Structure 1
Amino acid sequence: MKTYNWATYGTGVIANQLAQAMASQGRKLYSVSNRTYAKGVAFAEKYNISKIYDNPEDVFTDENVDIIYISTPHNTHLPLLLKALANGKHVLCEKSITLNSDELAQAIATAESGHAILAEAMTIYHMPLYKKLHEIAVSGELGPLRMIQMNFGSYKEYDMANRFFNRNLAGGAMLDIGVYALSFVRWFMSSAPDQILSQVKLAPTGVDEQATILLSNQEQEMATITLSLHAKQPKRGLVIFEKGYIEVYEYPRAEKAVITYTESGKKETIEAGSTVDALLYEVLDMEAAVSGEKDVTETLHLDYTKDVMQVMTKCREDWGMKYPEEECYR
């Protein structure tokens, strides 16, 4: 398979993990782009990257760039996506890919017109464990899916200037951690949820600090989700079938799950992949889709990304919660 030139737009934690994933394969990023040039230089020196842009937007027109990884805050994604995709660059964008469904629709339309591939960097869609669990679920061995229970809670100090609580940085539990829980649910559900109920506790800044979500679809598969930015919870997913249930801890980058069979009580441990290679799996799947080696839909799951975004958008609309960028057009 062809070796692709990757660029990172952003130099934060995820960009570092991307560079490290490349290094694990004896590769390195082709270029780095960052709004603060000095940070771009420091990042490039750290990972021996030769190409840095004086103007960060030059990455979008660099003819040598094949794929751009965008890892900036949520509310900056759309303008960067539109510029990259309009120039025919394939894009893997950090979650949450956009603020809402309308923005995602714009990005998808631009990708189609630019003949580019767009995907959200959602680890759940790429970890080997989830591919294995999907095979087990669709085999019928556990019977039909009945219910999914999800937890994700972090304890963040009440610093309202921090990005987690900052409305001007698209803070809040939904876009930061809820996207993981909802992507997990969508991975196992037979179809997208068509009934969505939720409740929210807002932080003083007006972003969602805590939320509960109830979902069901046309197959009457149900899911409950609890999220919090100020109360620690286990990152636990419980997928309940008629003949057994699957437990997954630390589910965003999980490498192990336990299946309990209802009738016998027998427990089976399923292991696949490695947590530390989460970014590498995203890179490999993206390149396989770009090269045509693997089907884009089955590999990158943009359809699931759309379904998840619709749920998040509906919840925030029900709460009357908008970010500054949305007040201009929603």
Structure 2
Amino acid sequence: MKTVNWAILGLGDIASSFATSFKAPNATLYAAGSRSLEKAKAFTEKHQIENAYGNYDDLLKDPAIDIVYIATPHSHHYDLIMKSLQAGKHVLCEKAITMNGTQLKAAMDLAAEKHLILSEAMTIYHMPLYHKLKELVDGGTIGKLKMLQVSFGSLKETDPTNRFYNKALAGGALFDIGTYALSFTRFFLNSQPNEILTTMNLFETGVDEQSGIILKNKDNEMAVVSLTFRAKMPKRGIIACEDGYITVDDYPRATSATLTRPDGKTELIEAGNSGEALNYEATALTDWILANKKDPFLPLSYDVLTIMDTVRERWGLHYDFE
């Protein structure tokens, strides 16, 4: 069987985690690229990767590379996705995959034209627990889905220069942690929300520091999403159905959930390993490449971005480089 050759673009912390956990069958980490050859060589030596590139263009010219994992700040995702697709490479890109739905639609069209896979590295779509929970909810044994409650609070140091608050790097809670909360939400909703209510607080740099978002779809399913960079809150998702609710703590890489029945009886549901979260992504993409399949979750990524587009429009939050 063919071996799928992977390359990494952007060599920060998440790239290091990806390389450390990488052990996808029928695949190898073949190359890594940075805008600094010295940094690329240090990274490849640390992770025992064969090829180092000091610029992205040279890496993308390597005909041996099948797929690139883009791990740069999300403000640079779109340009690198389009360059990678034009170079004939499949793409796995960190969240948020692009800055808006218009960008993602253009990338999806190019991927389809080139017969390439484009995918967002959203752990929620790949953790085994979520496929087990989705089967349970869709199976109807706990009644119809009615309500989702999703929170994520991450207390960030109020330094205007760091990436979390830096508008030039698309900072703000929505793009950093909100993408997880909204991906959790859209994964379980049976249709795209068509009603959106929202409000937020603005940080001094012009990005959102916290927000509340209420969603409703044509199926009368609702979701309430709470986000903040200014206070610690549980990363908790609650999936409320007519005959029971499911609580998922630490949901970005969750491996367990609790089903609570109306009579108070509980059931523990377990699947997967949080330490394998990034490797689940790499394995899925490798399998799709070998089987010539598309990413089944990319439409969800598009839906999430269009929700974020509407939310930011209501807030009046735009970035100069969009």
Deviation at 1:314, TM superposition (A): 0.7
Maintained 8 Å contact 1:196/1:213? yes
Taking the aligned partners of 2:92 and 2:295, their CA distance within structure 1 comes to 14
Counterpart code for 1:172: G
Percentage identity across aligned positions?
Answer: 47
What do the CA deviations read for 1:132-180 (whole angstroms, capped 9, x no partner)?
0011111101100000001001001110000000000110001100000
| Matched letter for residue 9 of structure 2 | Y
Partner of 1:82: 82
Moved over 3 A (4+): 23-28
Q: Distance in 1 between matches of 2:257 and 2:148?
A: 14
Distance, in Å, in 1 between the alignment partners of 2:290 and 2:196 is 37
Mean Cα displacement is larger for which, 26-35 or 77-86? 26-35
In structure 2, how many angstroms separate the alpha carbons of the residues matched to 1:156 and 1:24? 34
1:263-278 matches, within 5 Å, as 264-278=263-277
**Where do residues 47-58 of structure 1 align in structure 2 (5 Å cutoff)?**
47-58=47-58
Q: Which residue of 2 aligns with 1:126?
A: 126
Q: Mean alpha-carbon deviation: is it higher for 16-25 or for 69-78?
A: 16-25
Rounded to whole Å, the distance in 1 between the matches of 2:54 and 2:24 is: 28
Q: Give the drift of 1:25.
A: 6.5
User: Over the residues paired in the alignment, what is the CA RMSD in angstroms?
Assistant: 1.4
The alignment status of 1:310 with 2:306, answered yes or no, reads: yes
Tell me which residue corresponds to 2:294. Answer: 296
1:287 paired residue number:
286
Post-superposition offset of 1:182: 0.3
Aligned residues: 322
Aligned partners of 1:104 and 1:306 also within 8 Å: yes
Distance 2:235 2:29 in 1: 31
Once the two structures are overlaid, the 10-residue window that deviates more, 34-43 or 307-316, is 34-43
Using the TM superposition, give the Cα deviation of residue 37 of structure 1 relative to its aligned residue in structure 2, in angstroms.
2.0
Change (3 A) 1:37 1:178: same
TM-score, length-scaled by structure 1: 0.95
Q: Counterpart in 1 of 2:250?
A: 250
Q: Which stretch of the first structure deviates more once superposed, 192-201 or 46-55?
A: 46-55
Q: Distance in 1 between matches of 2:295 and 2:28?
A: 27
For structure 2, the 5+ residue unaligned runs are none
- How far off is 1:297 after superposition? 4.3
Whole-Å separation in 1 of the counterparts to 2:129 and 2:164: 29
**Cα deviations across residues 19-72 of structure 1 (Å, max 9, x unaligned)?**
112258697510001112221111011011121123321122211001100000
List per-residue Cα deviations over 1:261-320 (Å, max 9, x = no partner). Answer: 11x321000000000000011011111211227x5343xx00100100000011111111
TM-score (norm 2): 0.97
Q: Which amino acid aligns with 2:228?
A: S
Q: Please, which runs of 5 or more residues in structure 1 have no aligned partner?
A: none
1:39 correspondence with 2:39: yes
Mapping of residues 1-330 of structure 1, within 5 Å: 2-23=2-23, 28-262=28-262, 264-292=263-291, 295-298=293-296, 301-326=297-322
* DSSP-derived class of the 2:158 partner: coil
8 Å CA contact retained: 1:234, 1:249: yes
In structure 1, distance between residues paired with 2:199 and 2:269: 34
